[in-house]
A and B are shown apart, each in its own frame.
Chain A
Amino acid sequence: MTTVVELEHVTRTFGAVTALDDVSLSVGEGQLVGLLGPNGAGKTTLLSLVSGLRRADSGTVRLFGGDPRDASSRIALGTTPQETGLPPTLTVGEVVDLVAGHYPAPMTRAEVLARFGLEDLSGRQTGGLSGGQKRRLAVALALVGRPRLVLLDEPTTGLDVEARHTLWEALRDYHADGATVLLTSHYLEEIEALAERVVVIGEGRVLADDTLSSVLGLVGLRRVIFAVPNGDGVDLARLPGAASAQQASDGRWTVLASDADRVVRALVEQAVPFEGLEVRGASLEEAFLTLTQKEEVVR
């Protein structure tokens, strides 16, 4: 498999903030990769390095084997503008033509508009579009040049369910034609719907890089929270179904569980004198946090 994107030991800082910390990542042709991580994790910075907007402080970034800062390396790259940033006085058709004019073999205006259900809006100024229409146009602009690699930064944030599904369908169709897709999201649902491979990024580092199902297992943890006022004596982290256990400053324990039911059953069976039991789903943010902490324990 040929490599489309290659990052080797890439570090990028903004002043005191380390956006990416020694990241290595390689994306092969035809893959559909989801970059998952909380806001501020470094996902957008990573895309900006791949699209040539920024330079890495150290390490190398390769796009189709070349430096992404050379225009010729970006000949088969498609990216989306932020939907708030479309030139308001240009019409939908004109913006499509402007972007298409940069590529050697672009889609026709009619084809790209039809793929995203924008045919009737060709003559409308982009300033007059709804949020959902702007978002569809933004993704359409990523595909108009028939790129072999598409970078999408939070492609459906803020869209309603129906619009989101329409966009996902269009992206799956385009990927099915053989294109490589690298998208970021902080919605697990979006990553689940699209990605085959998931890279979890937190605090500038790659925390996990695996198939969708393995990563779902990693982040699909639940928290079992309770107090044990009268002595402990039980290694809570070793309970069946538990992944880790931590005691907060108020004395309450939080057990992160891949199988919360088994943890509760074990607590009862082992007659652990727990109080104030709570079971709740770990949010993505919490799941990321545990990945981060695990990493630190390993270090």
Chain B
Amino acid sequence: MSIVLAPRPFWSLAVLHARFQFLETVRIPIAVIGNLLFPSLALLFFVIPQRSVADDPGIATAAIAQLGVFAVMSTCLFSFGVGVSEDRAMPFDPFLRTLPAGAGPRLVGRVLNGVLWSYLALVPLVLLGAFLTAATLTPAQALAAIAMVPAVAVPFLLLGLAIGYRLSSKAAIAVVQATLFPLAFAGGLFLPPEAFPGWLDTLSKFLPSRAARDLAVQAVTGYEAYAGALVVILAWTAVFAALAVTAYRRDEGRRFH
């Protein structure tokens, strides 16, 4: 028999899922506030009091950029790693999978939601930076920063998905924290890499967080990223994409209901 009804367009389904995921996130304010606050607090306590950093336009802008990378990374790892594993544990998840929409629109909805929260997480950082430090951006650098956000977000959201589709929610929280903070520290998101001992600086250059940090700093200050940063981040993106896909495939049909 023929079905004359056509499925809803991909993008309207993706926006539908993004909208309801946003609503669900925003109704648990502590999750939102934690995400928005931590990078700003770090800026307020560790950067702004050091006037030698805060009063130098280049260094201050770089400091805000590296905390911005942290904000995006933490939003992605939490909303994808912890969020996906929590959703998988909910009996509503298999129900959604019986609706006439494939995994694609829901995944894209999640990406839209993640990118939106990444932007929101940057708002307090940018405001603090503009009012309390000497950080400056030209209009071109501001545009570059806006474009950098999804580029930084993609590898970490793929890593988040790999964690979220493989682990239970309790394990996912632990793994996200154990991944996020070492990656952030060794990637120069809290202390600039110039303060690293030589061995750590060398190691750091192989990390996705360091590559993302240097590319973000380059976009907003013009300080050149180290050679190979782009290759490192693309390689990690490929690795995380492969991990995410295998985790998603393993997850299918493994659950009992």
Residues of chain A touching chain B, judged by Cβ–Cβ distance below 8 Å, are 2-3, 14, 44, 48, 51-55, 64-66, 70-77, 79-82, 84-87, 89-90, 94, 98-99, 101-105, 125, 141, 145, 151
Contacts and interface: CB of A to CB of B under 8 A. Distances in A.
Interface residues of B, number: 30
Contacts of A94: 20, 23
Contacts of B20: 87, 90, 94, 98
B170 interface: no
**Chain B, interface SS category:** loop
A72 B257 contact: no
A162 B102 CA distance: 38
Nearest to A79: B98
A5 to B, nearest CB: 12
B24 A103 contact: no
B95 interface: yes
Contacts, number: 100
Contacts of A103: 8, 100
Nearest to B2: A65
B253 A51 contact: no
B97 A72 contact: no
A3 B92 CA distance: 29
B99 A105 contact: no
Given A71-B100, A71-B101, A103-B8, A89 B1 contact: no
A74 B98 contact: yes
A102 B95 contact: no
A103 B1 CA distance: 19
17 contacts: A52-B97, A53-B253, A65-B3, A71-B100, A71-B101, A71-B102, A72-B7, A76-B5, A77-B100, A79-B95, A80-B95, A81-B92, A81-B94, A94-B23, A102-B101, A103-B8, A145-B99
A98 B101 CA distance: 12
Given A53-B257, A55-B253, 12 more contacts: A51-B98, A70-B102, A71-B100, A79-B95, A79-B98, A85-B95, A86-B92, A89-B23, A90-B20, A101-B16, A102-B13, A103-B8
4 A-B pairs with least C-beta separation = A85-B91, A81-B95, A89-B27, A51-B98
Contact of B98 (A3, A77, A90): A77
B91 A82 contact: yes
Interface in B14-36: 16, 20, 23-24, 27-28
Contact of B8 (A73, A87, A104): A104
B100 A53 contact: no
B91 A81 contact: yes
B24 A89 contact: yes
Interface string B87-110: 000111111011111100000000
A84 B1 contact: no
B32 to A, nearest CB: 12
Contacts of B95: 79-82, 85, 141
B100 A72 contact: yes
B45 interface: no
A105 to B, nearest CB: 7
A81 B90 CA distance: 10
A102 B93 CA distance: 15
B98 A52 contact: yes
B99 A102 contact: yes
Contacts of A65: 1-3
A178 to B, nearest CB: 14
A80 B98 CA distance: 9
B256 interface: yes
A16 B100 CA distance: 32
A101 B13 contact: yes
Q: Specify which of A14, A75, A79, A94 lies most central, judged by the most chain B CB atoms within 10 Å of its CB.
A: A75
Contacts of B97: 52-53
